[in-house]
Amino acid sequence: MGPLQIKDILQTAPENQSVVVKGWVRTKRESKNAIFIALNDGSTINNIQVVAEPGQFSAELLLTVTTGSCLKVTGELIASQGAGQTVEVKISDIEVYGTADPEEYPLQPKKHSLEFLREIAHLRPRTNTFSAILRIRHALAFAVHQYFNDKGFFYLHTPVITASDAEGAGEMFRVTTLDLNNLPRTEEGAINFKEDFFGREANLTVSGQLEGELGAMALSKIYTFGPTFRAENSNTTRHLAEFWMIEPEMAFFELEDNMDLAEDFVKKVITYALINCKDDLNFLQNRLTEEEKNKPQNERSLPLLEKLAFVVDNPFERLTYTEAIDILLKSKPHKEGKFQFPVGWGIDLSSEHERYLVEKHFKKPVILTNYPREIKSFYMKLDEDGKTVRAMDVLFPGIGEIIGGSQREESYEKLLGRVKEIGIDPENLWWYLETRKFGTAPHSGFGLGFERLVQFVTGMGNIRDVIPFPRYPKSAEF
Ligand code: 4AD
Ligand code: MG
pLDDT average, residue stretch 239-247: 98
Distance CA 253, CA 191 (A): 43
At 345-392, the pLDDT tens digits run 999 999 999 999 999 999 999 999 999 999 999 999 999 999 999 999
- Paired with 37 in beta bridges are 28, 50
Distance CA 210, CA 222 (A): 12
The reply to whether 70 and 155 lie within a common domain is: no
Q: What are phi and psi of 430, to 5 degrees?
A: -55, -40
Residue 247: nearest ligand to its CA?
Answer: 1
- Give, using CA atoms, the residue closest to atom 23 of ligand 1: 449
Residue 444 pLDDT = 98
Checking if the pLDDT of 157 tops 80, the result is: yes
Domain boundary at 108, 137, 155, which?
108
Residue 109 pLDDT = 86
Residue 115 pLDDT = 96
- Give, using CA atoms, the residue closest to atom 7 of ligand 1: 447
Checking if the pLDDT of 23 tops 80, the result is: yes
**Confidence class for position 299, pLDDT limits 50, 70, 90:** confident
Between 113-122, 166-175, 422-431, the lowest mean confidence (pLDDT) is in 166-175
Mutate to test the pocket of ligand 1, among 245, 261, 444 (most ligand atoms within 8 A of CB): 245
Residue 470 counted as domain residue: no
Q: How far is the CA of 398 from the centre of ligand 2 (A)?
A: 16
Q: How far is the CA of 401 from the centre of ligand 2 (A)?
A: 7
Checking if the pLDDT of 302 tops 80, the result is: yes
Q: 362: helix, coil or strand? A: helix
> What total of structural domains would you count in the chain?
2
Checking if the pLDDT of 464 tops 90, the result is: yes
Ligand 1 atom index nearest CA of 247: 12
Residue 96 counted as domain residue: yes
The reply to whether 93 and 136 lie within a common domain is: no
Checking if the pLDDT of 237 tops 90, the result is: yes
* Nearest residue to 208 (alpha-carbon basis) of 249, 158, 165, 172: 158
pTM above 0.85, yes or no: yes
Average pLDDT, the chain: 96
Checking if the pLDDT of 168 tops 80, the result is: no
Residues of the domain holding 100: 6-108
- Give, using CA atoms, the residue closest to atom 25 of ligand 1: 239
Q: How far is the CA of 315 from the centre of ligand 2 (A)?
A: 21
Cβ(211)–Cβ(156) under 8 Å?
yes
CATH number at residue 343: 3.30.930.10
**Confidence class for position 83, pLDDT limits 50, 70, 90:** confident
Rounded percentage of the chain residues whose pLDDT exceeds 70? 100
Ligand 1 atom index nearest CA of 230: 28
Q: Using a 6 Å cutoff on CB, does residue 68 contact ligand 1?
A: no
The reply to whether 132 and 103 lie within a common domain is: no
Residue 96 pLDDT = 98
Residue 166: nearest ligand to its CA?
Answer: 1
Rounded percentage of the chain residues whose pLDDT exceeds 90? 91
Beta carbons within 10 angstroms of residue 234's beta carbon: 13
List CB contacts of 42: < 8 A, sequence separation 6 or more: 23, 125, 126, 131
Residue 84 pLDDT = 80
Cβ(36)–Cβ(51) under 8 Å?
yes
For 363, how many CA atoms within 13 A lie in the half-sphere containing its CB? 4
Residue 232 pLDDT = 87
Burial bucket for residue 235 (CB in 10 Å: 0-12, 13-18, 19+): exposed
- Paired with 72 in beta bridges are 22, 95
Distance CA 417, CA 426 (A): 10
Which runs of E-coded beta strand occur in 81-125?
87-98
The reply to whether 46 and 132 lie within a common domain is: no
CATH number at residue 45: 2.40.50.140
Residue 467: nearest ligand to its CA?
Answer: 1
* Nearest residue to 164 (alpha-carbon basis) of 428, 454, 461, 340: 428
**Confidence class for position 340, pLDDT limits 50, 70, 90:** very high
Q: How many residues does the chain have?
A: 478
